[in-house]
């Protein structure tokens, strides 16, 4: 009656299915001579983070891998391939509930030689210990949490991160505010209600407390991520009349905030700091009010210093994708160039040799120079920059003026110190040039 | 007469509408009685109140001298008062035998087990016996939803009887059944119930059935009891003839025209 | 004496087979089996509620409670023994369901669905605010120990896999037993007609409450197993999208048999993996099309495919 | 005082958006008993098509005024095209199936629509702010509000009024109420139920697309906006009572004000204020504010 039959079939089918899976997909073709290096690339290809982050990052990966395979990169990177081996990328969607299983599948079934990926800090936290366990070179290219090497794997062997963590952005943002804005007595924040937004506000307000003791926070707004409608939050900020509004909004949320806040004079009544505002410059143009303080999570995009590599990168990206590369693209480029530098330096695609070469490496990227000098040579530090927005009517393009650069040691905690402690200690050991 | 159920001044209103009032009825052990009355006369409201589906607005219901007013349906069932429904209330997607087995299980186990299998040979045989008694054993493995109304009616009644109730209410056991099947159903029913000592109260519109099966008759009219007594007396009562049977006659003619769908 | 039916026998026999497969199959497949057992248990919990006509769009609540309870026991109390973690996860889920059950047992149909969704989203909101628990990033869980034994490397992987298979399948066998029991039958009857159930002398509310608690406990167990397999928990576990997936898995697999959701979870996982591999940018569309086709051609779920074959096989043997 | 006024305006503004985004959902559920998850997909389609059309139109350099016609036009186009394709192509084969199964069907459609929008418009965000700016601002107690916001409140009131009038004051509307009451009887009475279903689905789709289309100028249109809307819309119609237009109004006002109050007075609660309201309302009125518990006839 309650259909409790037919189990034998079920089990048999499951065994057969598994057997099928094994035979069909585990065909292991292990080639010892590495003419080809398999690279797993994990970014958001669906969901809300795909548009602003995942796709620009994937684009940059495609661009660089093609260029590396053909030997088209300028300067120090002009050699073909990774120590001569061609790169074959496998793209995977980070938007999955089974991130760890997906990662293991990449390593075990697809037998990738290295994995570059992960935008969400939650992903990085989950993947880091697994990568160590799987003993697979894994390069986090974008996720911002400082916990990866501070709490989760304190002595990494296989995990690297080629972008500085998010603390830098908000410390630099606070420094920029103090350096350029006179008479700051009140500040407030509107950040997305999830770990990145909460951490950003914590770092920014913590830095403000140190750098400008007299100023106080008057409003902390935390709308849901992807909410899109900020009418009430903007009203709340307008009623509090803060001198500074800090926001770590990114992607569509940031653009919506600019449209809605700009329309209601939030930007003219308060000085707004958008730590991830760079991605909106091209699309929003004149909609971003002049005077808005803008960052790019590193000296990326318009904050990048002129270099042959950056010129090549911007031109090649625009030619291929008809839009300017944004900071996720820069971050991806950093990771891939990091791996290439390491492999070239080791002159081998052997994992152990590459890792050895990667540790403490310094290499050139479109946004300047990266030093792998934290967490035993596994965590990058980099200087950063902030600028003030100015729309140029004649060319119809937005630019950043009054750019201030902050060297790595000024905005990153020294080795062995946790970000929050460092901020609360009054930036102990910071060396600002 | 050994009275098992007694209602005292039972009354129920829905907003301004008085659905039943002044209902004083005594039912004796093992008694069989028929209830007549046009639609909206308060018959089903009365049954709903006694079985706890509706709470009376005022008045008392006594079972073996103790008040059961306001008790929950399931507790009243446990005391031995059961009912069938005008529209059969069955587990439509389950088979007939499963319906009976669930009824049996619930009747047996006050705190149902969670680990012991429900179906075993004994309970299966017992359920089949019940189906046989109601002459529906050939449908045991059919899904209830596909069966004809007459058979559903019998299943509905069979399920009401599994706990061996002392008092059983049958709400229009033959409604929705074609005219020639009515007598047949009642025959099956009464013979199946005869083996128990259950007191039976059935609501019925068909006077032929009332005359044949009910020694005592209660007539309802506009929420009150119009007459109560021996079948012959009640059916001859002038008021009953005017307000109840006259209308019934009318009603029956109509139903027959519509092809027996009540 | 034990009175095992075929499903139960097969589930019990499945334990050694599954464990054996863990050594034979490539590790990444084993991984998907392992995580599928965790989420499959939650789908199973959704399924047994569905048998009573209750569609929980918030089963992630207990999935998450189980995972977080175990994680927090590890993080704050230093508990790493898997047996204690499993028990903590289940007990906390059971307790929460006992409380919430008083509210939820009054609801049916879409209102049950939406209220359970609301409860799970309240937890989501709370966890997303708790920085001590890592906010939306969640936190990591250390590897479990087994009565003092702390394996490492490959041994640890196999131990955890075995420790996942056994409780998951045992739990499924117990649930099967529950569905066959009087209480399970009452659950079935609940879907069909509560009035009759009350008139038979039992409480529909109580049956719903019990079923809800059982489902929560099973989901809590699934949550612990899944979290241990992943080594990480985050509030996404109680987001409505996660709960939605459980519902979809149980509908797609079919509610006919206990094994269906476990099996269906794995199949769906594999389908997703290959959809991503085949087309990383539009795999959702592929998944959507597969779902539509399944509903159109297999309205009773994937399980009916096996059922049908079985039926035709029986016919042939009879001839 | 300032805060109170701000709460009032923000609450109303958000409620108007919620109502516009959820009324199509409640209409389809009321008539067809389909809890349409694909509604989120229609919202996204509406937003994308309107942002895209405005973008194209603005390139011609003509007056912004015309975009106010373009927005509803795109919603109607989406409603007709997507609504008809999905209703005629998929849903009609499934009428009469289990309600829960229908949820799954519409979820599958939602997944397909999500990727379809990505294939059509790519993953980059679209912005079309001109209509939201064109009408300018008004200051209330020193706080500037866009006139566009008030226009949306007006549009929501208009939509509600038209729907109420259409359902209660026209013959077609009354026939529709008969269809809602009893499908079989209305078939027997000679009402063309199929036509009513198709029409309802198209209208519901158009309303969903309209919600997206009028929101597009205020936001940056990105992949994934549909998924955000759908839960919110569910909450609104469950609070109000499923299938009731009046319920959607009340639900939208409840949720809108709950959010405005929490943003102004206690921002951390914003994340789950909606669900708290939903749980509280359901705990008191199990079937939503506007729906009567139906007793079963026995």
Contact A173, A386 (CB under 8 A): yes
User: Which residues, numbered 43 to 62 in chain B, qualify as contacts with chain D under a Cβ-Cβ cut-off of 8 Å?
Assistant: 44, 48, 53
Does D297 have pLDDT greater than 60? no
Taking only residues 104 to 163 of chain B, the set having a beta carbon closer than 8 angstroms to any beta carbon of chain A reads 119
Give B89→chain D minimum CA distance, Å. Answer: 7
Cβ partners under 8 Å of residue D165, min gap 6: D173
Q: Which residues of B touch D297 (CB under 8 A)?
A: 87
Pick from D162, D153, D122, D151: which is nearest to D13 by CA?
D153
How many other CB atoms sit within 10 Å of the CB of residue A427?
A: 19
Separation CA A52–CA D114 (nearest Å): 16
Distance of CA A131 to the CA centre of its chain: 19
Write the pLDDT tens digit of every residue in B138-159: 998 999 989 988 889 889 999 9
| DSSP-based three-state secondary structure for D132 | helix
Q: Residues A68-90: what's their mean pLDDT?
A: 91
Residues 4-23 of D with CB under 8 A from A: 6-7, 9-11, 13-14, 17
Q: Is residue A202 part of a domain?
A: yes
Chain-centroid distance of CA A424 in Å reads 25
What is the band of B191 on the pLDDT scale with cuts at 50, 70, 90? confident
pLDDT exceeds 70 at position B161 = yes
CATH topology of domain B81-164: Rossmann fold (3.40.50)
Q: How many helices (H) and strands (E) does chain A have?
A: 16, 15
Q: What is the pLDDT of residue B246?
A: 72
DSSP state of A377: G
Which subunits sit against B, judged by 3+ Cβ pairs under 8 A? A, C, D
Contacts of D46 (CB under 8 A, 6+ apart): D74, D75, D78, D208, D209, D210, D211, D212, D213, D216
What is the predicted pLDDT for the residue at A12?
44
Residue A19 domain-assigned (yes or no): no
Say whether residue D264 is in contact with chain A using an 8 A CB cutoff: yes
- Residue-level pLDDT at D198: 93
Q: From chain B, pick out residues whose CB is under 8 angstroms from the CB of A1.
A: 94-95, 97-98, 119
What whole-number distance in Å separates Cα of residue C15 and Cα of residue C34? 13
* Cβ–Cβ below 8 Å for A252 and D222: yes
Residues 140-179 of chain D whose Cβ lies under 8 A from any Cβ of chain A: 143-146, 149
CA of C136, closest CA in chain A: separation in Å?
5
Residue of B44, B154, B41, B38 lying closest to B96 (CA atoms) = B154
More confident residue, D33 or A387: A387
CB hemisphere CA count around D149 (13 angstroms): 26
pLDDT of residue A76: 86
d(CA D228, CA D233): 9
Region A396-411: mean pLDDT is 91
Q: What pLDDT was estimated at residue C34?
A: 93
CATH number of B1-77+166-177+196-262: 3.40.50.300
Cα distance between residue B231 and residue B246, in whole Å: 16
- By Cβ distance, the residue of D127, D132, D267 closest to A284 is D127
Say if residues D272 and C122 touch (Cβ distance below 8 Å).
Answer: yes
Give the residue among A141, A144, A137, A99 at the shortest CA–CA distance from A118.
A141
Q: Do C114 and D115 touch (CB under 8 A)?
A: no
- The crossing angle, in degrees rounded to 10, of helices B149-161 and B121-133 is 120
Burial tier of B16 (Cβ tally within 10 Å: 0-12, 13-18, 19+): exposed
CA nearest A232: which of D7, D148, D225, D269? D7
Asked whether residue B241 carries a pLDDT value surpassing 70, the answer given is: yes
Is C257 within 8 Å of A7 when comparing Cβ atoms?
A: yes
User: What percent of chain A clears pLDDT 70, i.e. is strictly above it?
Assistant: 92
Average pLDDT over residues D244-263: 92
Tell me what percent of the residues of chain C surpass a pLDDT of 70.
95
Compute chain A's Rg from CA coordinates.
Answer: 23
Q: Is the pTM of this model over 0.80?
A: yes
∠ at Cα A45 (A44, A50), nearest 5°?
A: 65
Counting as contact any 3 or more CB pairs under 8 A, the partners of C are A, B, D
What's the confidence (pLDDT) of residue A309?
Answer: 94
Cα–Cα distances in angstroms (integers) from residue A419 to residues A162, A199, B87, in the given order:
17, 10, 72
Q: Is the pLDDT of residue C309 over 70?
A: no
> By the CB < 8 Å criterion, does B77 face chain C?
yes
Question: What mean pLDDT comes out for the span A416-429?
Answer: 89
Instruction: Please give the backbone phi and psi of residue A239, each rounded to the nearest 5 degrees, phi first.
Output: -70, -25
β-strand pairing of B3-14 with B58-63: antiparallel
Residue in the block written with tokens 């390491």: A342
Q: Read off the tokens for A278.
A: 């760079």
Q: Bridge-partner residues for A89, per DSSP?
A: A39
Around Cβ B148, how many Cβ atoms within 10 Å? 12
Q: Above pLDDT 90, what percent of chain A?
A: 60
DSSP state of C149: B
Nearest CB neighbour to C292, from listed D105, D234, D278: D105
Q: Predicted confidence band at B189 (pLDDT cuts at 50, 70, 90)?
A: confident
- Report the first-to-last Cα separation within chain B, whole angstroms: 36
Residue D151, token pair as written in the block? 């226009």
Q: pLDDT tens, C104-161?
A: 998 887 788 888 988 998 899 889 888 888 888 889 898 899 998 988 888 988 999 9
Nearest to C114 among D110, D234, D283 (CB): D234
| Alpha-carbon D181 to chain mean position | 23
C-beta separation of C210 from C49 below 8 A: no
Chain C residue with minimum CA distance to A8: C10
Mean model confidence pLDDT for chain A: 87
- What's the pLDDT score for residue B19? 87
Total of domains in chain D: 1
The pLDDT, as a whole number, for residue B196 is 77
Whether residue A429 lies inside any domain: the answer is no
CB contact under 8 A, C244 and D271: no
- What pLDDT is attached to residue D244? 84
Out of B125-129, B241-245, D138-142, pick the least confident. Answer: B241-245
Q: Is the pLDDT of residue C37 over 70?
A: yes
Residues A312, A267, single domain; the answer is no
Per-residue pLDDT reduced to its tens digit, A86-119: 999 999 999 888 888 899 999 999 999 999 999 9
DSSP A394: T
Instruction: Name which of A36-40, B175-179, C98-102, C113-117 the model is least confident about.
Output: B175-179
Quick one: closest CA in A to B142, which residue? Answer: A1
The answer to which of A269-278, B118-127, B219-228, C282-291 has the lowest mean pLDDT is C282-291
CATH assignment at residue A187: 3.40.50.2300
Give me the pLDDT at residue D271, please. 78
Closest-CA distance of chain C to residue D249, Å = 19
Chain center to CA of D99: 20
- A235 and A328 inside one domain: no
- DSSP 3-state assignment of B19? strand
Q: Does residue B170 sit in helix, strand or coil?
A: strand
Identify which of A7, A93, A105 has the shortest CB distance to residue C259: A7
Q: State the DSSP string of A342-369.
A: HHHHHTS--HHHHHHHHTT-EEEETTEE
Going by C-alpha positions, the residue among A367, A338, A306, A331 that lies closest to residue A68 is A338
d(CA B100, CA B78): 17
Q: A15 in a domain, yes or no?
A: no
Radius of gyration of chain C from its Cα atoms, rounded to whole angstroms: 20
Asked if B95 is an interface residue toward chain A (Cβ–Cβ < 8 A), one would say yes
In chain C, the residue whose alpha carbon lies closest to the alpha carbon of B110 is: C202
Q: Please give the residue that has the higher pLDDT: either A26 or D151.
A: D151
Class of domain C6-318: mainly alpha
Q: In the predicted model, what is the mean pLDDT of chain B?
A: 86
The pLDDT value given to residue A29: 39
Residue B252: per-residue pLDDT: 58
Contacts of C196 in chain B (CB under 8 A): 89-91, 159
Q: Is residue C308 scored above 90 in pLDDT?
A: no
- Taking CB atoms and an 8 Å limit, are A233 and D263 in contact across chains? yes
Residue B119 with chain C: CB contacts under 8 Å: 180
Total domains, chain A: 2
In a domain, D162, yes or no: yes
Q: Where are the beta strands (DSSP E) in C95-147?
A: 139-140
What pLDDT is attached to residue A258?
94
Task: With H, G, I as helix, E, B as strand and everything else as coil, classify residue B216.
Answer: strand
H or E element, residue C72: helix C60-77
Taking CB atoms and an 8 Å cut-off, how many pairs form between chains A and D?
A: 140
Q: Which domain holds residue D202?
A: 2-228
Give the residue numbers spanning the domain of A157: 36-165+305-381
Number of alpha carbons in the 13 Å side-chain half-sphere of residue D14: 32
Quick: pLDDT tens for B17-63. 888 889 999 999 888 999 988 888 888 899 999 999 989 999 999 99
A357 and A275, same structural domain?
no
The span from the CA of A39 to the CA of A82, in Å, is 11
Tokens 């032929």: give the residue: B208
Give the Cα separation of A187 and A170 in Å (integer): 14
Do residues A245 and A281 both lie within one domain?
yes
Are C307 and A45 within 8 A, CB to CB? no
Unique residue bearing structure tokens 């992960």: A118
Q: Are residues A293 and A173 in contact, defined by beta-carbon separation less than 8 angstroms?
A: yes
Considering only B87-101, C281-295, D113-127, which range has the smallest mean pLDDT? C281-295
- What are the residue boundaries of the structural domains of chain B, listed by start? 1-77+166-177+196-262, 81-164
Question: What pLDDT score does A19 carry?
Answer: 46
A1 contacts chain B (CB < 8 A): yes
In the structure, what pLDDT confidence band is assigned to residue B135 with cuts at 50, 70 and 90?
confident
Nearest Cα residue to C191 out of C46, C49, C295, C56: C49
The residue written with tokens 């709903």 in the block is: B48
Confidence check: pLDDT of D293 > 80 = no
B115 and C174 within 8 Å at the Cβ level: the answer is: yes
| Residue A220 β-bridge partners | A189
B236: confidence class by pLDDT, cuts 50, 70, 90: confident
Query: A391 - beta bridge partners?
Result: A398
Structure token digits, residue B13: 């209103």
Q: Three-state SS string across D39-95, please?
A: HHHHHHHHHHHHHHHHHHHHHCCCCHHHHHHHHHHHHHHHHHHHHHHHHHHCHHHHC
A366-370, B54-58, C1-5, D169-173: segment of lowest average pLDDT: C1-5
Q: What is the pLDDT of residue D298?
A: 57
pLDDT band of B253, cuts 50, 70, 90? low
Percent of chain C at pLDDT > 90 equals: 49
Q: How far does B98 lie from chain A, in Å, by closest CA?
A: 8
Confidence at C312, pLDDT banded by 50, 70, 90: low
- Judge whether B221 and B244 are in contact, CB under 8 Å: yes
Verify whether the Cβ–Cβ distance A219 to D10 is below 8 Å.
no
* Chain A neighbors (3+ CB pairs < 8 Å): B, C, D
Could you tell me if D199 and D24 are in contact, meaning their C-beta atoms sit under 8 angstroms apart? Answer: no
Q: What is the mean pLDDT of residues D72-89?
A: 95
Reply yes or no on whether the pLDDT at A287 is more than 70.
yes
Helix (H, G, I), strand (E, B) or coil at B85: coil
Of A381, A397, A416, at which residue does a domain stop?
A381
B16, B4 Cβ separation under 8 angstroms: no
Q: Which of C53, C23, C36, C28 is nearest to C207 (CA)?
A: C53
What span, in angstroms and rounded, lies between the C-alpha atoms of C284 and C291?
Answer: 10
Burial class (CB in 10 A: 0-12, 13-18, 19+), D280: middle
- What's the rounded Cα separation, in Å, for the pair C69 and C89? 5
Domain ranges within chain C, ordered by starting residue:
6-318
Instruction: Give the one of B72, B90, B163 whose C-beta lies nearest to C196's C-beta.
Output: B90
Pair (A156, A246) in one structural domain:
no
List, in order, residues 6 or more apart from B76 with CB less than 8 Å away.
B50, B51, B52, B63, B68
Q: Say how many C-beta atoms besides its own lie within 10 A of residue A33's C-beta.
A: 6
* Minimal-distance CA residue of chain A relative to C138: A122
Structure tokens that stand for A19 in this block: 């057997």
- For residue C109, give Cα distances in angstroms to D34, D101, D288: 13, 13, 13
Q: How far is CA C42 from CA B199, B225, C225, in A?
A: 49, 56, 11
């Amino acid at each position: 009656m309650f259909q409790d039959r037919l189990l034998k079939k079920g089990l048999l089918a499951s065994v057969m299915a598994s057997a099928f899976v094994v035979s069909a997909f585990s065909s292991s073709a292990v080639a010892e001579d590495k003419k080809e290096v398999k690279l797993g690339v994990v970014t958001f290809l669906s969901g809300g983070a795909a548009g602003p982050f995942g796709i620009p990052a994937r684009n940059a990966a495609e661009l660089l891998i093609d260029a590396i395979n053909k030997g088209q990169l300028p300067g120090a990177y002009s050699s073909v391939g990774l120590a001569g081996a061609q790169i074959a990328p496998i793209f995977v969607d980070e938007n999955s509930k089974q991130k760890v299983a997906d990662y293991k599948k990449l390593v075990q079934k697809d037998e990738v030689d290295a994995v570059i990926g992960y935008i969400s800090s939650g992903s990085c936290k989950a993947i880091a210990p697994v990568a160590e366990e799987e003993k697979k070179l894994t390069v986090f290219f974008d996720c911002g949490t400082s916990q990866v090497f501070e709490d989760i794997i304190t002595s990494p062997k296989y995990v690297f991160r080629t972008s500085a963590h998010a603390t830098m952005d908000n410390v630099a943002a606070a420094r920029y505010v103090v350096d350029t804005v006179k008479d700051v007595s009140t500040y407030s924040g509107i950040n997305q209600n999830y770990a990145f937004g909460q951490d950003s506000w914590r770092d920014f307000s913590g830095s403000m407390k140190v750098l400008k003791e007299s100023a106080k926070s008057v409003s902390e707004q935390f709308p849901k991520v992807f909410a899109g409608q900020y009418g009430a939050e903007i009203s709340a900020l307008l009623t509090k009349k803060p001198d500074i509004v800090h926001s770590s909004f990114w992607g569509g949320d940031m653009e919506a905030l600019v449209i809605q806040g700009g329309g209601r004079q939030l930007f003219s009544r308060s000085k707004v700091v958008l730590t991830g505002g760079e991605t909106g410059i091209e699309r929003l143009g004149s909609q971003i009010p002049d005077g808005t303080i803008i960052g790019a999570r590193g000296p990326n995009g318009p904050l990048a210093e002129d270099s042959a590599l950056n010129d090549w990168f911007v031109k090649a990206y625009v030619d291929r994708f008809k839009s300017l590369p944004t900071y996720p693209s820069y971050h991806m480029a950093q990771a891939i160039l990091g791996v290439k530098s390491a492999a070239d330096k080791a002159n081998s695609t052997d994992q152990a040799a590459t890792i050895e070469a990667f540790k403490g490496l310094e290499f050139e990227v479109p946004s300047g120079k990266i030093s792998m000098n934290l967490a035993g040579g596994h965590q990058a530090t980099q200087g950063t920059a902030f600028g003030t927005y100015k729309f140029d009517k004649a060319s119809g393009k937005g630019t950043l003026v009054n750019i201030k650069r902050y060297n790595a040691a000024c905005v990153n905690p020294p080795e062995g110190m946790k970000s929050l402690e460092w901020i609360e200690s009054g930036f102990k050991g910071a060396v600002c040039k | 007469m050994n009275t098992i159920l007694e209602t005292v001044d039972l009354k129920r209103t829905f907003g301004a509408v008085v659905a039943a009032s002044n209902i004083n009825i005594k039912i004796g052990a093992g008694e069989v009685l028929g209830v007549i009355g046009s639609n909206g006369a308060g018959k089903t409201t009365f049954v709903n109140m006694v079985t706890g589906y509706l709470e009376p607005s005022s008045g008392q219901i006594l079972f073996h001298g103790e008040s059961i007013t306001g008790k929950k349906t399931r507790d009243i069932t446990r005391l031995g008062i059961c009912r069938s429904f005008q529209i059969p209330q069955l587990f439509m997607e389950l088979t007939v035998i499963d319906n009976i087995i669930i009824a049996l299980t619930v009747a047996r186990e006050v705190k149902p087990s969670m680990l012991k299998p429900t179906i075993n040979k004994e309970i299966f045989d017992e359920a089949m016996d019940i189906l046989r008694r109601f002459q529906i054993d050939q449908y045991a493995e059919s899904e209830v939803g596909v069966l004809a109304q007459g058979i559903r009616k019998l299943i509905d009644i069979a399920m009401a009887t599994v706990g061996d109730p002392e008092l059983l209410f049958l709400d229009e056991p033959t409604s929705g059944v074609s005219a020639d099947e009515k007598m047949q159903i009642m025959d099956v029913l009464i013979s199946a119930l005869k083996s128990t000592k259950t007191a039976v109260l059935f609501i019925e519109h068909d006077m032929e059935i009332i005359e044949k099966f009910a020694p005592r008759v209660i007539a309802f009219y506009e929420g009150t009891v119009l007459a109560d007594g021996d079948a012959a007396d009640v059916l001859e009562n002038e008021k009953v003839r005017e307000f109840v049977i006259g209308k019934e006659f009318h009603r029956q003619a109509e139903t027959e025209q519509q092809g027996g769908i009540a | 004496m034990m009175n095992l039916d075929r499903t139960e026998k097969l589930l019990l026999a499945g334990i050694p087979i599954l464990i054996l497969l863990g050594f034979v199959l490539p590790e990444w497949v084993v991984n998907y089996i392992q995580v599928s057992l965790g989420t499959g248990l939650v789908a199973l919990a959704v399924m047994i509620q569905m048998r009573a006509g209750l569609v929980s769009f918030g089963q992630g609540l207990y999935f998450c409670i189980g995972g977080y309870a175990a994680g927090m026991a590890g993080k704050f109390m230093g508990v790493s023994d898997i047996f204690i973690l499993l028990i903590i996860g289940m007990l906390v889920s059971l307790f929460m369901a006992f409380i919430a059950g008083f509210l939820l047992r009054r609801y049916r149909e879409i209102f049950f669905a939406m209220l359970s969704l609301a409860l799970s989203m309240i937890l989501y909101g709370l966890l997303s605010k708790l920085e001590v628990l890592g906010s939306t990033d969640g936190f990591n869980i250390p590897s479990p120990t087994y009565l003092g034994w702390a394996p490492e490397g490959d041994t640890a992987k196999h131990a955890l896999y075995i420790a996942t298979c056994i409780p998951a399948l045992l739990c499924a066998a117990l649930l099967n037993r529950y569905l066959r029991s009087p209480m399970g039958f009452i659950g079935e009857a609940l879907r069909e007609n509560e009035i009759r159930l009350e008139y038979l002398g039992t409480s529909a509310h109580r049956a719903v409450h019990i079923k809800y608690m059982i489902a929560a406990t099973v989901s809590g167990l699934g949550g612990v197993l899944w979290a241990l397999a992943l080594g990480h928990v985050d509030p996404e576990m109680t987001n409505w999208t996660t709960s939605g997936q459980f519902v979809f898995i149980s509908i797609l697999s079919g509610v006919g048999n206990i094994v269906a959701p476990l099996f269906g979870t794995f199949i769906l996982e594999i389908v997703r993996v290959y959809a991503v591999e085949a087309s990383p940018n539009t795999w959702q569309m592929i998944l959507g099309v597969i779902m539509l086709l399944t509903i159109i051609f297999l309205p009773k779920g994937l399980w009916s495919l096996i059922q049908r074959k079985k039926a035709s096989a029986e016919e042939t043997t009879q001839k | 005082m300032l805060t109170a006024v701000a709460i009032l305006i923000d609450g109303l503004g958000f409620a108007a958006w919620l109502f516009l985004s959820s009324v199509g959902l409640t209409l389809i559920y009321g008539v067809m008993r389909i809890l349409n998850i694909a509604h989120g997909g229609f919202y996204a389609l509406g937003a994308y098509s309107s942002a895209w059309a405005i973008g194209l139109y603005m390139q011609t350099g003509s007056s912004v005024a015309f975009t106010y016609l373009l927005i509803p036009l795109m919603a109607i186009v989406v409603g007709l095209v997507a609504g008809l394709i999905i209703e005629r192509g998929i849903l009609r084969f499934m009428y009469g199936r289990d309600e829960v199964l229908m949820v799954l069907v519409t979820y599958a459609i939602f997944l397909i629509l999500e990727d379809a929008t990505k294939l059509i418009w790519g993953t980059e965000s679209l912005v079309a702010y001109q209509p939201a700016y064109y009408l300018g601002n008004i200051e209330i107690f020193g706080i500037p509000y866009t006139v566009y916001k008030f226009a949306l409140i007006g549009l929501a009131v208009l939509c509600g009024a038209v729907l109420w009038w259409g359902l209660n004051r026209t013959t077609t509307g009354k026939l529709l109420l008969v269809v809602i009451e009893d499908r079989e009887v209305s078939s027997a009475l000679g009402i063309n139920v199929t036509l009513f279903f198709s029409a309802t689905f198209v209208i519901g789709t158009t309303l969903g697309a309209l919600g997206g289309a009028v929101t597009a100028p205020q936001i940056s249109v990105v992949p994934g906006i549909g998924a955000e809307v759908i839960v919110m819309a569910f909450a609104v119609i469950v609070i109000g009572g499923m299938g009731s237009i009046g319920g959607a109004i009340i639900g939208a006002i409840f949720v809108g004000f709950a959010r405005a109050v929490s943003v102004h007075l206690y921002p951390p609660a914003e994340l789950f204020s909606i669900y708290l309201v939903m749980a509280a309302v359901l705990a008191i009125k199990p079937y939503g504010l506007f729906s009567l518990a139906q007793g079963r006839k026995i």
